[in-house]
Amino acid sequence: MSNKTKIESSYISSVLKLNNNVVFNGFSFGYKKNISGEVVFNTGMVGYPETLTDPSYSGQILVLTYPLIGNYGVPQFDTADFLKSKFESDKIHVQGLIVSEISDTFSHWSGKKLLSGWLEENRIPGMFGVDTRKLTSMLREHGTMLGKIIVDDESIDLYDPDRDDLISKVCPGKIEKLGSGKKKILLLDCGCKLGIIRKLIREDTTVIRQPWNKEISSFDFDAVVLSNGPGNPAVYNDLRKKVEVLLKLRKPVLGICLGHQILSLTVGAKTYKLKYGHRSQNQPVRLNGTNRCFITSQNHGFAVDDTSLSGEWRTWFTNLNDNTNEGIIHNSLPFRSVQFHPEAAPGPTDTSFIFDDFLNEIK
């Protein structure tokens, strides 16, 4: 009996059922429960601790296409200084995890626990033994689908996260002040990755981490960052109204991922759902008007319609795989946003200069 067969024989069976009634069989690991969500895939080879703790994955069942997951374990979360931890939040946000093969051991100097144990601690179900190549090909051909991970025979309804107010579920509960520099940055948190905060904190900056659904902080601030977050940007009308007020202050603004989409909607542009999204660490983008290209980390299922930009707004970056919009910038005011993640985490840091340029604009 092979080691793989021995591993499988010690786990109970589970199934993934898609909303087109296609069923994938596998084995359950992590927490044992039935869940539903949008089934999406990520093609990154490494970085599962960062990926699973990214709040933008809230409501989604994540398929990792790399064939073996978990072999370097999970590091310890530093509760004393969470910004030093190799995570993007303090918990796992995916609805469920699907992999081809799960490692039942790990070997890395920072590894402290098994991936399966970490999922169980966070009450997140996982599946392995799934033909992830076939599943990913189906999602690429037909688009992302709703699905269910079923561990027992109990029936559950399909859950569509695009209709839900996910950002209110993942944003922090209170205002937090980080750093002690003279440049004060208001971070409108819609489910912000810790990597963004790490990039913003410098010797000369103070970051005011503001939950998006609280009244704007009474602290003075010199610039605004609109964070990433989960869900369909078109349903967040209250957030757009808040951004509209902030734009009237004419202070430097940087939007990232969902923040990019919200800024675009606020200034009159339109968004639309991509067939299967961009979720990987190797997305090429071009700086418009130049031949400069960068490799970026991305995680989004919606995009901004380039043709809907008007006035002094123009396209800043373009995706070289499918020519979709990857950023907008204002011709005369200090407003700009990007669809990708310049902080990476995980992924390449080709575009980290965006943070430097933004911070240099703050007077």
Q: Which residues are designated catalytic?
A: 257, 341, 343
3-state SS, 41-77, equals EECCCCCHHHHHCCHHHCCEEEEECCCEECCCCECCC
Which helix (H) or strand (E) segment is 165 a member of? Answer: none
Pairing of strands 68-69, 335-338: unpaired
3-state SS, 215-271, equals CCCCCCCCEEEECCCCCCHHHCHHHHHHHHHHHCCCCCEEEECHHHHHHHHHCCCCE
Identify the residue whose tokens are 């709703």: 146
Identify the residue whose tokens are 């144990």: 117
CB distance 69 to 174 below 8 Å: no
Q: How far is the CA of 331 from the CAs of 168, 312, 314, 334, 359, in angstroms?
A: 32, 5, 7, 8, 18
User: Around Cβ 235, how many Cβ atoms within 10 Å?
Assistant: 14
How many whole angstroms separate alpha carbon 97 and alpha carbon 119?
9
From the DSSP assignment, how many helices (H) and strands (E) are in the chain? 9, 19
